[in-house]
């Protein structure tokens, strides 16, 4: 039996929560962004007109209902996001931020929208350092108000709907209001995560009251959870648009909650809300075979790093080597290490730091990096390269971590519009602060806690108004100027590997998109090759170690979702590692 099919053949089951939330400091990377909560068997879904793939079946169905009612992809996007913030609150919501890659069929145009959080104007580069100038321990920085950035999700939803929406704003917000008042059954995944994070969630009264019973026990799977405060918040947004969120009582309550957070207050202010703007940015596209792999540019590192991995590995015959060959994974592993070295040195918010965006994907530079890889022999060490760059400057390597509790979903409507959006509040349950029925992000911990290293500035250092670097990789693959596939995933900085490997599996190894998502993960970012626990890929461990790789067997909890546009209609796939679904007509 080929190892690449093992996840497909696993039946729906419940597995123990085995990962730890513990984290030593910012440079360490020992935990998954969210706990592993089991596998569900998923099969390829097909449709003729439209499709939604998202991380929760309630949210997926709500988006499908909007499309069935005549709405378009942007309409469905708004509804899906607002319901995800209710039924999957640990992963995303209106207290967080998002990146959108969007194909406008009528305008024949691909664009991206940056709804990333921003650092408060009162924030200083030493926000996450102690009195001795040393970086704080990760969760000492995360939990409370210190880590909260200005949320961008509501503005992204509003701005894109104003430009592209078909149904009324109230109509697309209403399903989330109704569900919040009616209540929903807590899913197995959410129940497990609440129980696992009991200590941190219990530190704040509003969060504790929502997720726990009166006796302090966690609310369990199947419990009907109502959220009238969230419904009231959304009702204001439905009636008054994004202004209801960024001015008035909602913004005041957020600021008060952040600034008065017990033990770890933050500096977010009302002016930060007044100043917040989304940014439409030119997509970053990397050629790969006969396709263009397009995604979000800086402040996301996603499209650049995915593009580098694919471009470097294209110099080798992965198609001939095949998915079952350890040599394929040694090549992918070292390509990823090289790309992550460049990511750590160069990638940040390009509005604040000059970046060699074009140089990092330059064909000559890619060829130069690919020559460093020797099949069957792991690189002993890697370092950032020297891409073509007119603003060459000395920058230090960044060791900041990223543990988003994130969600990715896609929508394709009957008009051919395509949404690929990754949305987050960063860590599981974000800052753990809850206000007006939603959780606030801890996005500022995506900045480097250090400002300099060896006398050189770190590109991803914290600065007022700056957007922290992200690994979110919402992707639309283009072929002959038209969308071919939408794909993305949660998973911290491993998002990049999950997306790149799924694309390789589909385009190089001929797997359908469900098989590509189901395949076991092997991810290397900083020198350790992580192999997904409980899969047949574990059989490669000794061979890869013999090639010189340091190997670690662990849970790798992606949440990949994809839609492929074919001549016959649409194909949809949802990750068996999460609770998502693909629904179409």
**Which residues are marked as active site?**
406
Q: According to the annotation, is 115 in a ligand binding site?
A: no
Question: ∠ at Cα 269 (265, 274), nearest 5°?
Answer: 155
Helix (H) or strand (E) holding 198: helix 198-201
| Structural tokens at position 154 | 């509501």
Contacts of residue 457, defined as CB under 8 A and 6 or more positions apart, other chains included, come to 395, 396, 451
Going by their DSSP bridges, the two strands 550-554 and 561-566 should be labelled as: unpaired
Euclidean distance between CA atoms 75 and 413, whole angstroms:
10
Quick check: helix, strand or coil at residue 227?
coil
Euclidean distance between CA atoms 129 and 120, whole angstroms:
16
Question: ∠ at Cα 55 (54, 57), nearest 5°?
Answer: 80
**Extended beta strands in 40-196, E state:** 45-47, 51-54, 97-104, 109-115, 184-185
CB 376 within 8 A of CB 30: no
Q: According to the annotation, is 471 in a ligand binding site?
A: yes
CB 64 within 8 A of CB 412: no
Q: Say how many C-beta atoms besides its own lie within 10 A of residue 553's C-beta.
A: 15
Which spans in 183-287 are helix H? 188-196, 198-201, 205-211, 228-240, 243-246, 249-259, 270-275
Give the bridge partners for 492, in sequence order.
none
Q: According to the annotation, is 492 in a ligand binding site?
A: yes
Give the bridge partners for 529, in sequence order.
524, 551
Give the bridge partners for 470, in sequence order.
300
Euclidean distance between CA atoms 419 and 412, whole angstroms:
6
**DSSP character at residue 451:** S
CB 378 within 8 A of CB 492: no
CB 231 within 8 A of CB 192: no
CB 184 within 8 A of CB 97: no
Q: According to the annotation, is 159 in a ligand binding site?
A: no
Compute the residue count for the chain: 585
Rg (CA), the chain: 22
Contacts of residue 566, defined as CB under 8 A and 6 or more positions apart, other chains included, come to none
Euclidean distance between CA atoms 485 and 278, whole angstroms:
25
**DSSP character at residue 14:** -
CB 384 within 8 A of CB 535: no
CB 186 within 8 A of CB 36: no
Q: Say how many C-beta atoms besides its own lie within 10 A of residue 465's C-beta.
A: 16
Q: Say how many C-beta atoms besides its own lie within 10 A of residue 9's C-beta.
A: 9
Euclidean distance between CA atoms 414 and 366, whole angstroms:
38
User: End-to-end distance of the chain based on CA atoms, in angstroms?
Assistant: 34
Q: According to the annotation, is 448 in a ligand binding site?
A: no
| Structural tokens at position 189 | 């995944």
Name the binding residues for L-glutamate: 116, 446, 470-471, 492
Name the binding residues: 116, 446, 470-471, 492
């Amino acid at each position: 039996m080929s190892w690449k099919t093992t996840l497909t053949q696993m039946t729906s089951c419940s597995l123990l929560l085995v990962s730890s939330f513990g984290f030593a400091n910012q440079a360490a990377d020992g935990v998954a962004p969210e706990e592993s909560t089991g596998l569900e068997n998923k099969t390829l879904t097909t449709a003729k007109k439209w499709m939604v793939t998202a991380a929760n079946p309630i949210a997926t169905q709500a988006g499908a209902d909007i499309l069935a009612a005549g709405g378009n992809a942007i309409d469905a996007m708004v509804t899906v996001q607002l319901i995800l913030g209710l039924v999957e609150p640990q992963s995303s919501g209106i207290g967080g931020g998002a990146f959108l890659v969007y194909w406008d069929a009528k305008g024949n145009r691909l664009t991206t929208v940056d709804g990333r959080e921003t650092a408060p104007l009162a924030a200083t580069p030493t926000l996450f350092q102690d009195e001795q100038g040393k970086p704080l321990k990760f969760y000492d920085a995360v939990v409370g108000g210190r880590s909260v950035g200005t949320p961008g999700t509501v503005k992204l939803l509003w701005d894109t709907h104003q430009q592209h929406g078909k149904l009324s704003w109230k109509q697309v917000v209403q399903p989330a209001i109704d569900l919040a008042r009616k209540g929903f059954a807590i899913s197995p995944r959410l129940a497990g995560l609440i129980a696992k994070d009991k200590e941190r969630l219990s530190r704040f009264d509003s969060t504790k009251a929502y997720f726990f019973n009166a006796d302090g026990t966690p609310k369990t799977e199947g419990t009907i959870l109502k959220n009238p405060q969230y419904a009231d918040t959304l009702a204001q947004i439905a009636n008054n648009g994004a202004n209801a969120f960024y001015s008035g009582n909602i913004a005041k309550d957020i600021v008060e909650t952040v600034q008065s957070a017990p033990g770890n207050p933050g500096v977010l202010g009302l002016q930060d809300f007044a100043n917040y703007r989304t940014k439409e940015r030119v997509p970053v596209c990397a050629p790969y075979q006969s396709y263009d792999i397009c995604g979000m540019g800086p402040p996301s590192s996603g499209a650049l790093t995915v593009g580098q991995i694919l471009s470097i590995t294209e110099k080798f015959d992965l198609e001939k080597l095949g998915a079952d060959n350890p040599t394929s994974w040694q090549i992918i592993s070292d390509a990823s290490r090289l790309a992550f070295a460049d990511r750590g040195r160069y990638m940040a918010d390009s509005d604040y730091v000059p970046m060699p965006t074009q140089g990092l994907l330059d064909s000559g530079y890619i060829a130069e990096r690919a020559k460093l890889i020797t099949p069957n022999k792991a690189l002993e060490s890697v370092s950032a390269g020297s891409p073509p760059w007119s603003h060459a400057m000395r920058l230090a390597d960044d060791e900041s971590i990223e543990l988003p509790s994130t969600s990715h979903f896609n929508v394709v409507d009957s008009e051919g519009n395509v949404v690929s959006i990754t949305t987050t509040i960063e860590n599981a349950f974000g800052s753990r602060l809850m206000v007006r029925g939603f959780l606030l992000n801890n996005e500022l911990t995506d900045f480097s806690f250090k400002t300099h290293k060896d006398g050189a500035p770190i590109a991803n250092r914290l600065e007022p108004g700056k957007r922290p670097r992200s690994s979110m990789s919402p992707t639309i693959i283009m072929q002959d100027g038209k969308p071919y596939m939408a794909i993305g995933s949660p998973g911290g900085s491993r998002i990049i590997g999950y997306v790149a490997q799924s694309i390789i599996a589909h385009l190089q190894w001929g797997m359908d998109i469900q098989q590509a998502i189901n395949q076991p993960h092997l991810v290397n970012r900083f020198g350790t090759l992580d192999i997904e626990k409980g899969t047949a890929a574990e059989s490669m461990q000794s061979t890869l170690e013999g090639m010189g790789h340091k190997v670690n067997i662990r849970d790798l909890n992606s949440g990949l979702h994809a839609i492929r546009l074919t001549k016959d209609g649409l194909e949809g796939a949802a990750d068996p590692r999460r609770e998502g679904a693909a629904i179409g007509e």
